C-alpha cells in the first residue's frame, strides 16, 4: 500500500467524523422542525445527541433521517472528483463513513430500543464496520497514484 494515499485518506476520514455527526443530527432535527418542534443538538467525541422538544409522529422517518442525510453528505464529494486513479483518497476516506451512516440509519430505525440502551455496543459495531470497509478500500485503491489537486 502507498503510505501517502492511506495517510491522507485517514486524515480525511478523521476530519469528517465530527462534521458528519453534526449533519446526522441535523437530519433528525429537520424532521423535528417539520413537525413544528424545537430541538437541541449536542456533539462530543463520543458522538452526537439530538433532543426534540415534542412528540414526533413519524418515528420511522425521524429515526432514519439522520443516517441517510449524513450518508448522502459523505457521498457528495465523490461526485466532484474522479475516483478511479487520480483521487482514490476520496473513496478510501469517505465511502466507509457514508456506508457507516447508511448502516446506522437502518440500525437506528429497526433496532431503536436496543440502539438507545446499548449505544456503546452499537457504536463499536458500526466503528468496526467502517474500519473493515476502510481497510478493504485502502487495500484495493491504496496502490494507485495519488493526485492532490
Written as tens digits, the pLDDT of the chain (149 aa) is 788 889 999 999 999 999 999 999 999 999 999 999 999 999 877 778 899 999 999 999 999 999 999 999 999 998 887 655 677 889 999 999 999 999 999 999 999 999 889 888 998 999 999 999 999 999 988 775 555 54
Nearest to residue 20, comparing CAs of 76, 58, 63? 76
- pLDDT, position 32: 95
What is the rounded CA–CA span in Å between residue 8 and residue 76? Answer: 18
The residues with which 51 forms a beta bridge, in sequence order, are 40
**Buried residues in 10-37 as b, exposed as e (16+ CB within 10 A):** eebbeebeeebbbbbbbbbbbbbeeeee
- pLDDT, position 149: 47
What pTM was computed for the model? 0.88
- pLDDT, position 82: 65
Nearest to residue 89, comparing CAs of 143, 20, 131? 143
Amino acid at each position: 500500500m502507498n503510505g501517502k494515499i492511506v495517510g491522507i485518506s485517514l486524515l480525511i476520514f478523521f476530519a469528517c467524523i465530527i462534521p458528519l455527526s453534526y449533519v446526522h443530527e441535523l437530519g433528525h432535527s429537520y424532521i423535528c422542525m417539520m413537525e413544528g418542534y424545537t430541538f437541541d443538538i449536542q456533539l462530543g467525541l463520543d458522538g452526537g445527541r439530538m433532543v426534540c422538544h415534542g412528540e414526533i409522529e413519524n418515528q420511522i422517518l425521524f429515526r432514519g433521517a439522520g443516517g441517510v442525510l449524513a450518508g448522502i453528505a459523505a457521498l457528495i464529494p465523490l461526485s466532484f472528483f474522479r475516483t478511479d486513479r487520480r483521487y482514490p483518497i476520496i473513496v478510501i476516506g469517505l465511502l466507509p463513513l457514508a456506508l457507516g451512516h447508511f448502516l446506522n440509519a437502518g440500525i437506528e430505525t429497526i433496532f431503536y430500543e436496543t440502539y438507545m440502551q446499548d449505544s456503546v455496543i452499537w457504536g463499536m459495531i458500526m466503528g468496526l464496520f467502517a474500519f473493515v470497509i476502510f481497510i478493504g478500500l485502502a487495500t484495493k485503491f491504496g496502490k494507485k497514484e495519488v493526485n492532490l489537486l
